[in-house]
Amino acid sequence: MRKGIVQLVAIGVVIGVLVTLVAVLFQWLPTSASEEFDRIQDIYWFATIMSIVIFSVVAAVVVYSVWTWRVPDDDDLDGPPIHGNTGLEIAWTAVPAILVIALGIVSAVVLSQNGEAGNRPLEVKAIGQQFAWKFEYSDYGDFTTGELVLPVNREARFTMEAVDVIHSFWVPNFGQKMDAVPGIETSILVTPTRTGEFAVVCAELCGLGHATMRAKARVVTRAEFDEWVKEKRA
């Protein structure tokens, strides 16, 4: 039995290492370009570590059991009549409960941080219409563009509006997403941390042109942004 436990643990470690390699060798998440996404990525790793442990435990027991206790087809004996084990059952109710509640608490904290608008965020209205995005900068006299331009390190609040059907505003590198819904107003906060060009993608099926409903987001320095605004208002 002692040897068995050692083997089981060894299998578990091997599986765990393999899965961990899969998790770290590939870049599963896009480069974060916002404070909000940084926080989300922390929870992502929390959930990933938890998942690696749970998967490895289950897979190890399955592999080990089949490997050790497989019998030929014509075997006609029965296994030991083990009906349960209260201690174990309590353990595997309690441990996952603690884990998911921990995840829930972390998530709730991040959610509220990501939802807290600081002092005077940049107000941008994102208008979804089949099949294009329009952005309105209400702080600067309501001009409208098809390209999203944001100053780096300044919080922006997107207020969503939909003209016809539901669309969903999503910039994968910002990690933030929110539906634009006809008849109600929705909003989301983004604090860009990196300059560069990113894609704005519509994430909610909105009809024939849904796949092509994309726009460009450009995060620029403060000075470049002011320049751009001046140009637009001219």
Nearer to other proteins, 135 or 170 (CB): 170
- Specify whether the CB–CB gap between 138 and 121 falls below 8 A: no
- Does 49 contact other proteins by CB under 8 A? no
Q: Which of 184, 196, 226, 227 binds other proteins (CB under 8 A)?
A: 184
Q: Which of 5, 92, 139, 142 binds other proteins (CB under 8 A)?
A: 92
> Could you tell me which residues come within 8 angstroms of residue 190 by beta carbon, excluding any fewer than 6 positions away?
34, 36, 150, 155, 156, 158, 171, 174, 176
Edge-to-edge order in the sheet of strand 143-145: 143-145, 132-137, 122-129, 156-162, 186-190
Nearer to other proteins, 39 or 225 (CB): 39
- Does 207 contact other proteins by CB under 8 A? yes
User: Where do we find the tokens 């790793």?
Assistant: 45
- Does 132 contact other proteins by CB under 8 A? no
Nearest to 229 by CA among 158, 139, 154: 139
Q: Cβ 187 to other proteins, closest distance in Å?
A: 9
- Does 203 contact other proteins by CB under 8 A? yes
Token output for 6: 């050692």
- Does 110 contact other proteins by CB under 8 A? yes
Give the interface segment with other proteins, choosing from 82-90, 118-126, 138-146, 148-156 (CB under 8 A). 82-90
Please give the single-letter amino acid code of residue 176.
Q
Q: Which of 134, 157, 210, 218 binds Cu ion (CB under 5 A)?
A: 210
- Specify whether the CB–CB gap between 197 and 44 falls below 8 A: no
Q: Cβ 164 to Cu ion, closest distance in Å?
A: 11
Neighbour tally for 194: CB within 10 Å: 14
Q: Cβ 221 to other proteins, closest distance in Å?
A: 24
Q: In the complex, which residues of this chain contact Cu ion (CB under 5 A)?
A: 167, 202, 206, 210, 213
